[in-house]
Chain A
């Protein structure tokens, strides 16, 4: 099975994050990491390859610095990577990014596209269904379990109430939550091997996309204002000396919650 995993480099969610002066996500002053949920997608791809054979390709759209995340992804075990990189991409909205991903995916002929359910920077969750719409393939999103039987895919999709069982035939895109597996740690051998794995660079021109369809020029939405919220400040803190529960309820009563 020919599997492509979408990997996004994001600012570390454990550190301070902000927007640049042009209101794009500030990637220069933050430490950038592979989007955590994408590691689960890579793990799932590797498990499917181990069970059914095939090839795993990592696909990233991002600036030059995203190479670090691509090597990190490859060190887990995928065979190769494709990196779409172009200065004109800076400031792209989700719609434009999806069009670029779709164009790159058309060159890769994937049976199965895997992605994280969301990225930790935008948390927008829209890209998998946008790709399904653009490519005319099935989308099985929010997976906590994926079963592959020949060309038939079965997914347990997490919902607010529980889960849904959804099925489709390949080609398809499946997005996964962190409940689906436990990603492997790259081995030393994997890290060394990743340095030699092929990373194909693609520009917008290679994909037949013009610069004004993407970036700020082609954006379908615009940020008007960005303001930091004042940090929350802690209020009263009491040490329980036998009546902590009563004190808690007294507080809740003054706030009219009980």
Chain B
């Protein structure tokens, strides 16, 4: 059975386990790991082999060295497919791989069939497309939360790769990596539950209410563009057209009207609930359950009720 390469960019995340689960349907799974990664966890989810690359030549520069390492590996092992996470960096590595190998690529898949055909949600989640790569091997980036990770124990052997990068791979230097606000919350695109606030939250301070509900539900915090543009919450938490696309089990929209730009980032969520004081807000057209009311009354009461039930 041909190998399928799963690219692990920065440590083993939930999306990594999802990629491993999908990859098992396409061939024998080999993980390509940059830097430190939990190899035991990779084995637990079916990685039969691990290729590891590390060092300053990989860490110190933006994306390009990783693409070079993977391209060399593709040439030597001739895998059936390469799967990456549909994160900014995952897409960027895929972009460079496609050029290096003169190969097609597909991004933002939510499903990958055994023959490499990918299912993608397009146009703000309003339509579904099935596509395949017609030149070269399938290089596919997969959106977080597309499948439920399923363990399948394997005992992977680790093979160290030699990193041989060129001068052009080292044109963009990474000088500093800054973590701005993370805490113990799950990452937005990976979270099973997302609680988002919009213009109706009113100010940055009031976002504590959104955070409190998110923490009680074990979810991530998101924000609409209106909230981000008003300076209530940082841009990396923006859900929608010019921000992140999320597809959690539960999406809670607080004080968000539901403009199409916001829907673009969340309407493939499994369950949507909304609180908004405007009964005519378009968000209610999507919500499986909606409360028309003042979120400053509804949310504290909901928080109290969740505490009681715990």
Contact = CB atoms under 8 A, between A and B. Distances in A.
B175 A167 contact: yes
Range for the number of chain B residues in contact with chain A? 35 or more
Nearest to A102: B99
Range for the number of chain A residues in contact with chain B? 35 or more
Interface stretch (A56-64, A81-89, A155-163): A155-163
Interface string A26-45: 00000000001100000000
A179 B235 contact: yes
A36 to B, nearest CB: 7
Nearest to A36: B242
B208 interface: no
Given A172-B171, A236-B289, A244 B124 contact: no
A258 to B, nearest CB: 5
A76 B304 CA distance: 52
A213 B271 CA distance: 44
B293 A244 contact: yes
B32 interface: no
Nearest to B166: A136
A95 B188 contact: no
Interface string B298-310: 1111111110011
B171 A232 contact: no
Contacts of B180: 161-163
A256 to B, nearest CB: 9
A108 interface: no
Contacts of A150: none
A43 B300 CA distance: 42
Contact of B305 (A14, A130, A179, A245): A245
Interface in B221-278: 235-236, 241-242, 245, 249-250, 260-261, 264, 267, 271-273, 275
Contacts of B181: 162
A255 to B, nearest CB: 6
B134 A139 contact: no
B173 A167 contact: yes
A127 B288 CA distance: 37
A202 interface: no
B107 A221 contact: no
Given A162-B179, A235-B288, A248-B275, A130 B95 contact: yes
20 contacts: A95-B104, A121-B123, A125-B88, A134-B99, A137-B171, A158-B235, A158-B236, A161-B182, A164-B176, A166-B175, A219-B134, A221-B105, A221-B134, A223-B131, A229-B125, A234-B285, A244-B302, A245-B305, A248-B275, A249-B309
Interface of B: 62-64, 67, 87-88, 91-92, 94-96, 98-100, 102-108, 117, 121, 123-136, 168, 171-182, 187-189, 193, 217, 235-236, 241-242, 245, 249-250, 260-261, 264, 267, 271-273, 275, 279, 284-294, 297-306, 309-310
Interface of A: 13-14, 17-19, 23, 36-37, 93-95, 98, 120-121, 123-130, 132-134, 136-142, 144, 154, 157-169, 172, 177-179, 219-229, 231-240, 243-249, 251-253, 255, 257-258
The 3 lowest CB-CB distance pairs between A and B, nearest first, are A240-B293, A245-B301, A220-B104
Given A160-B236, A236-B288, A240-B297, 13 more contacts: A123-B108, A125-B91, A133-B100, A137-B171, A158-B235, A158-B236, A159-B88, A161-B177, A227-B128, A232-B285, A237-B289, A240-B291, A248-B289
